[in-house]
Structure 1
Amino acid sequence: MPIPAPNLYPPFNILRLSHIEFGVTDLAASRAFYVDTLGLQVTDEDDETIYLRAMEERGHHCLILKKKAQASVDYLAYKVFSEDELDKAHDWFAAQGHDVAWVTRPYQGRTLRTHDCFGAPMEFYFKMDRLAPIHQQYALYKGVKPLRIDHFNCFVPDVDKAVAFYNRIGFRVTEYTEDEETGRLWAAWTHRKGGVHDIAFTNGLGPRVHHTAFWVPTPLNIIDLLDLMATTGYVGNIERGPGRHGISNAFFLYILDPDGHRIEIYCSDYQTVDPDLEAIKWDLKDPQRQTLWGAPAPRSWFEHGSLFDGVEPVAATLKATPIVAP
């Protein structure tokens, strides 16, 4: 099935992905992982919640850890171009029959909560509290030295449907995987900010979050993190990598937090600013699609994901199978 032409004039203007809220069962264990090991910076915390940002970010947070009885994801959040775009988004989602609500979020202005075509919760805002820059406070750089949040990847039961929906709100496809036998999409990478992706979609039981990615300066930062994790009790949390993706050309590592939320540490992909840039097509059976070099992905990478709070996932409609490590 061909991918849709880029929608250059969507009904409202999304700038980029912004942040994600994880439900975590042990706040102290999650803090030790994200702050002491990965190196994210705490911007506020109490007994129930921790707000975190990466080193180059000026917004108050890119990740929220919320203490809950069960691990989950509450929502994926996006920043829009202006206050007016929030009203346009509200009216568009309401016209499509989606639930819409204005919600109150700390450190943010007006925030719209709704959901995508699979029921996955989405939030949109324009204004977030700005913090002083810390990118030159080198004494603060710890762990893998995360610079910024880069993207989300979600399992969805129908990637063609996901691409069609997100295309309507302006997400452009940069690369995609097609199943040769059916002509359907098995995975797709879509963006707003001019990188390879703000959100990607992988065929599978969904909607669920596959991973959240953070950009780091160099591959050597990833090697340093591996040494740190291997000697501080986290060697079992290393799931896949290091290696280089065929799609995106990124140097990568996949790790699991104490609750099983998957994190990708990521660098060295490319820009895709031109609105008429042609998407790159990959065949599902191409072994260099997922791994240009490095070990193939383990089965857990295709099956394990984080549930959205209150959203029941459904089975994928495409039964095609990628290359899986033995």
Structure 2
Amino acid sequence: MPLPACNLYPPFNIVRLSHLDLGVTDLARSKAFWADTIGLQVTHEDSDLLTLRGMEERNHHCVVLRRQSEPSANSLSFKVYAEEDLDKARDWFKARGQKTEWVERPWQDRTLRTYDPQGIPLEFYATMERLPPIHQKYSLYKGVKPLRIDHFNCFSTDVDASVAFYNDIGFRVTEYTEDDDTKRLWAAWMHRKGGVHDMAFTNGRGPRLHHVAFWVPTPLNIIDLLDLMSTTGYLANIERGPGRHGISNAFFLYVRDPDGHRVEIYCSDYLTVDPDLEPIKWDLKDPQRQTLWGAPAPKSWFEEGSAFQNVAVGEPSLRAQPIVAP
């Protein structure tokens, strides 16, 4: 199916992805991973909630970890340009039959909660509490030295439909994978902030969160994290990499937190700010699509993900199979 034409004048203005809310079963264990090992900075901690931010981020948080009996992905959040964009977003989603509600969130002003057609819970806000800058407080840097949240990737049962929906609200495709037999999308990368992606979709059982990614300064930071994880009890949490993606050209590493949530450590992709930038097409069977150096991803990478809380998971309509490591 052909990609939809870019919508350069969407019904409301999304600036970028902002943060995600994850359910975890043990906050102390999660803090040891996300703060002490990955290196995100704790901005709030109590018996039920832990919030964190990257070193370059001024918003109060980019990750919310919530104590729950079962792990889950609870919501994906996006920052909009102004307060009036929240009202425009509510009207737009309601007109398309999607449930909308105003919700209270600590450290945020008005917050709109809704869902995309796949069932992914989305939240939008314009204003979050700002914290003092810490990017030059080098004594705080640890772990992989994460600078900022970079993107979400979700499993979708119909990537063509997901791309059409997010295209309508202003996301632009930068790269995509097409199944040669059916001419349908197997995966797509879409952005708002001018990188390769804020949101990506992978064909599979969904909707589920595939991973959240954080931008780091250099590939050497990833090597440091591998040394740290392999000698501090996290060897089994290293899932894939290090390597360089064909798609996005980024250097990467995938690790799993104690509850199985997948985290990508990511750097070295490229700018996509030009409104007439042409998307790059990849064939599903191209071995350099996943990894420029040719190494295929493990089976777990295609099959495992974090379920969204109270959202049913369905089977994908496209049955195409990528190259999988034995």
Residues 113-166 of structure 1, C-alpha deviation per residue, up to 9 Å, x if partnerless? Answer: 000011110000000000000000000000000000000000000000000000
Deviation at 1:296, TM superposition (A): 1.4
Structure 1 residue 295 displacement after superposition:
2.9
Q: Secondary structure in 2 aligned to 1:154?
A: strand
Distance 1:261 1:270 in 2: 26
Answer whether contact 1:101 1:112 (CA < 8 A) is retained: yes
Q: Cα offset for 1:294?
A: 5.7
Where has structure 1 moved over 3 Å in runs of 4 or more? Answer: none
**3-state SS of paired residue (1:47):** coil
> What residue number does 2:68 align with?
68
Matching residue of 2:231: 231
In the alignment, the residues of structure 2 paired with residue 251 and residue 273 of structure 1 have an alpha-carbon distance, to the nearest angstrom, of: 20
Equivalence for 1:26: 26
1:161-214 CA-to-partner distances (Å, cap 9, x unmatched) read 000000010000000000000000000000000000000000000000000000
Structure 1 unaligned spans of 5+: none
Percent of pairs with identical residues: 72
TM-score (norm 1): 1.00
> Following the alignment from structure 2 to structure 1, what is the Cα–Cα distance between the partners of residues 87 and 220?
44
Is 2:250 the partner of 1:253? no
- Give 1:293 shift: 1.3
> Secondary structure in 2 aligned to 1:136?
coil
The 1-side partners of 2:168 and 2:53 are apart by 30
* DSSP 3-state at the match of 1:263: strand
State the one-letter code of the partner of 2:162: A
Matched, 1:47 2:35: no
**1:263 and 2:263 are equivalent in the alignment:** yes
Number of residue-to-residue matches in the alignment: 326
**8 Å Cα contact 2:287-2:294 kept in structure 1:** no
Alignment of 1:98-137 (within 5 A): 98-137=98-137
Kindly report the root-mean-square deviation, in angstroms, between the aligned alpha carbons of the 2 structures: 0.5
- Equivalent-residue separation in structure 2 for 1:294 and 1:287 (angstroms): 5
Give 2:152's aligned residue.
152
C-alpha distance in structure 1 between counterparts of 2:295 and 2:27, whole Å = 33
Q: Report 1:178-197 matches (<5 A).
A: 178-197=178-197
User: Normalising by the residue count of structure 2, what TM-score does the alignment of the two structures yield?
Assistant: 1.00
State the alpha-carbon separation in 2 of the partners of residues 46 and 74 from structure 1. 19
Corresponding letter in the other structure for 1:169: I
Q: Deviations over 1:26-85 (max 9, x none)?
A: 111000000100100000110000010000000000000000000001100000000010
| Counterpart for residue 209 of structure 2 | 209
* Residue 295 (structure 1) aligns with: 295
1:242-295 C-alpha deviation (Å, 9 max, x unpaired): 000000000000000000000000000000000110000000000000110163
Contact map agreement 2:207 2:307 (CA 8 A) in 1: yes
Q: Output the CA distance in 2 between the equivalents of 1:194 and 1:76.
A: 19
Equivalent position SS for 1:282: strand
